[in-house]
Amino acid sequence: MIANFRGIFCFAALALTSGPALAQDLPPGPEQMLVTQACTTCHLASQFTSQRKTAGQWTETVNQMINMGAVVGDSEFDRIVNYLAKNFGPVK
């Protein structure tokens, strides 16, 4: 039941937006499409691109999203975290 609610919530969130983020909305890189597919199913890109987190914080965030139903394979996890940390890490 909870899984169905999450799916419905994500679908409703997408219906209220102007449309899913496209790959060109994110910085170029080999994981650009992977992050687009994994993260913009339920979020606008601006919801995570505006954040500045360390790799450890992105690890926690991606784990939280997986626990809430995000589909991220084991082989994709580190690639997503590295892309997010590289492009949306703390301002130096």
Q: Do 72 and 41 meet the contact criterion of CB atoms below 8 Å apart?
A: no
Is residue 92 in a domain? Answer: no
Quote the pLDDT of residue 92: 79
The three-point CA angle 7-17-54 to 5° equals 75
Q: How many whole angstroms separate alpha carbon 40 and alpha carbon 87?
A: 16
Per-residue pLDDT in tens (0 to 9) along the chain, 92 residues: 555 545 544 544 444 444 455 556 799 988 999 999 999 988 899 999 999 999 999 999 999 999 999 999 999 999 999 999 999 999 87
Q: Do 41 and 10 meet the contact criterion of CB atoms below 8 Å apart?
A: yes
What tokens appear for 37 in the block? 């597919």
Domain hosting residue 72, numbered range: 2-87
| Count: domains in the chain | 1
Does the predicted TM-score (pTM) go above 0.85? no
Quote the pLDDT of residue 76: 97
Is residue 37 in a domain? Answer: yes
DSSP 8-state secondary structure symbol assigned to residue 91: -
Quote the pLDDT of residue 6: 54
Quote the pLDDT of residue 25: 74
Quote the pLDDT of residue 23: 56
Q: In terms of Cα–Cα distance, which of 89, 80, 92 is closest to 29?
A: 80
